[in-house]
A = this chain, B = another copy of it.
């Protein structure tokens, strides 16, 4: 009559997984560590996620959706496209600083099946492509969006990895890169 009530949920498991990911890295996201955090034994997780790689994929998709939301919020105004792109690039960088390891998961080519869902990534890409079209016209939209996304991701990823060891003003390099790409693609419109 009272079959065992759920003591956790898929959402709680994914959220716990994201915490562990940022604290201990991807290797630290074990079924044991996540189960401990939601106060359950490891085998119980299999009632909510298929296996560890499905859990990793769910964590990545969760992060992608949060990123999409941040980018939508930043790109919504009807400013000139250069401003929207700069503001989305900033939002991306802030997300990457909050969630560096999740950001790496979104782009850095995990094993097939362990990455975020394509829909969640497409949702994050849409506002960038829209602003790219406003900037560079229909033909230039996709290359412009790709270049800006690649730049923002590459930059923040190197930043998170501590790759900028030579001093200098890192913020300025980011600003100038975004500005250079914007004006470079705009000219071709």
On A, residues with C-beta under 8 Å from B are 25, 27, 100-101, 104, 107-111, 115, 118, 121-122, 125, 129, 142-144, 146-147, 149-155, 157-158, 160-170, 172-173, 176-177, 179-181, 183-185, 188
Given A107-B158, A107-B161, A181-B181, 15 more pairs with CB closer than 8 A: A107-B163, A110-B161, A118-B165, A129-B166, A142-B167, A146-B173, A147-B155, A147-B176, A150-B154, A151-B181, A154-B157, A176-B185, A180-B183, A180-B185, A183-B184
The answer to whether residues A157 and B164 also contact, given A143-B176, A147-B176, A176-B188 and a CB cut-off of 8 A, is: no
Q: Given B104, B149, B177, which contacts A147 in the complex, CB threshold below 8 Å?
A: B177
Cβ A164 vs Cβ B146 within 8 A: yes
Q: Which of A110, A144, A147, A155 has most chain B Cβ within 10 Å?
A: A147
Query: With the chains together, A124 CA to B116 CA distance in Å?
Result: 31
Cβ B151 vs Cβ A147 within 8 A: yes
Q: Which of A129, A142, A168, A180 has most chain B Cβ within 10 Å?
A: A180
Task: List 18 interface pairs A-B (beta carbons < 8 Å), by A numbering.
Answer: A107-B161, A107-B163, A108-B108, A108-B161, A109-B160, A109-B161, A121-B163, A142-B173, A146-B170, A146-B173, A146-B177, A147-B155, A147-B177, A149-B158, A151-B181, A153-B154, A177-B184, A180-B185
